[in-house]
Structure 1
Amino acid sequence: MPFMHGLMPLRRTFYYLFTGKDQVQGRCTSVRYGFSSTAIKRRTARCSRFRFWHWAQLQYKNPRVQLIKHVDTVITPFARAYLKDGREVLFDLEGMTREEIESRIARTLGKTELVEKREELMEIVKLNPADFGSKCKRQCMCEIQGTASMYSITAST
């Protein structure tokens, strides 16, 4: 298999996908990324490295965001994000390294560290609705509509 040689398999490992920092906020619906593979190499080489290394991470970290690649549609590389309220955010990526592109997208569309920490804590604290007890949402199973208590079953038989 040709894709299992070189650096290609590294980009598909779970650890590499999980270490991606590009997590877009919920207000973004889709991101278009356009570049030219036939233009002058020094213009687009850096952007193609971003696409090579970070595209899979973007897809993994943002499952609800539609990511679209436009190859050979324009000469200068760009990224355009569409927000839920109808606005568009345009990024000019010409001459930027992959780290600069990643930081620009993270600064503009990404979640802040405070939001990420809060979501992480909410995931930890998230209670299972099937749990019962003093620190849970329901004290006893008999509080759920449709469940019979032990006393009503024995009294009717």
Structure 2
Amino acid sequence: MHQMGSDENLKIEKKRIGALLKQYFQKLNMPFMRGVAPIRRTLRYLQKGDIVLKDSVHIVSINYNTGAENHVGLREFVFWHLSQVQYKNPSVQIVTFKNMTPTPFIRCYLDNYEEIIMDVDSQSKEDIYDRFKRVLAKPQAQLQLEAKSSEDNPANFGATCSKHCICEVPGQVPCPSVVPLPKTMRGKYVFNPDLLNE
């Protein structure tokens, strides 16, 4: 009897917490926090995905059935991880085919007209994720190297860099709009030396 009372209290507490969360999200005006596992649609969840596909991968097609037991792992992989893969790889076309094949598989089309076919029959979501990452994703060392090379180089200048113009670098000639250039450095006077005498 004591166990039954604690189960009822737990159900009441869950309902209370659910109602509080619903009120909180309605106040924030977040309509996307509805449906099954709404966490999948948050930006933080999408950014946590760590599968960045290799540059040679152009198209990924995922084939599975919605009702078969041997398709559960791939179905869960699509449910939990496909949105992250799409977010991290916006230039890769990802297509899902449902209820068209007796066995689940992932087919990838590469830029050299080769195909990679992964048979994922009766595999778990974690196994598929690990295999997909191992075969098609860039290694962590390569990602770190790319991130390091894309950091702002102090030698660069322009609209997207830390310095807009080279005249902001110490030791360079100041900007002609602020300090006029000497006449000997201007093409107008170099090619017409007669103008220097004026």
Is 1:123 the counterpart of 2:123 in the alignment?
Answer: no
Residues of 1 paired with 2:173 and 2:111: CA distance? 42
How do 1:83-98 residues align onto structure 2 when only pairs under 5 Å count? 83-98=110-125
Q: CA deviation at 1:3?
A: 7.0
RMSD: 3.1
**Which residue number corresponds to residue 53 of structure 2?**
24
TM-score, normalised via structure 1 length: 0.80
The Cα offsets for residues 95-128 of structure 1, whole Å up to 9 and x where unpaired, read as 1111111111111111011110011112223545
Residues of 2 paired with 1:25 and 1:87: CA distance? 14
Residues of 1 paired with 2:179 and 2:32: CA distance? 63
Instruction: Name the SS of the counterpart of 1:125 in structure 2.
Output: coil
**Which residue number corresponds to residue 69 of structure 1?**
96
Instruction: Name the SS of the counterpart of 1:99 in structure 2.
Output: helix
Instruction: Name the SS of the counterpart of 1:55 in structure 2.
Output: helix
**Which residue number corresponds to residue 127 of structure 2?**
100
Instruction: Name the SS of the counterpart of 2:131 in structure 1.
Output: helix
Judged with a 3 Å threshold, the aligned counterparts in structure 2 of structure 1 residues 75 and 2 are, in CA distance, closer, same or farther, namely farther
Residues of 2 paired with 1:92 and 1:140: CA distance? 63
Is 1:4 the counterpart of 2:31 in the alignment?
Answer: no
Task: Specify the code of the residue in structure 2 equivalent to 1:85.
Answer: N
Task: Specify the code of the residue in structure 2 equivalent to 1:114.
Answer: A
2:139 to 112, 120, 137: 112
Asked if the contact 2:33/2:39 (under 8 Å) is kept, the reply is no
TM-score, normalised via structure 2 length: 0.64
Residues of 2 paired with 1:33 and 1:79: CA distance? 5
Q: CA deviation at 1:45?
A: 1.4
Overall identity of the aligned pairs, in %: 26
Aligned length: 147
Q: CA deviation at 1:23?
A: 1.0
| Structure 1 runs not aligned, ≥5 long | none
| Structure 2 runs not aligned, ≥5 long | 1-30, 190-194
Instruction: Name the SS of the counterpart of 1:4 in structure 2.
Output: coil
Q: CA deviation at 1:141?
A: 7.1
Asked if the contact 1:22/1:102 (under 8 Å) is kept, the reply is no
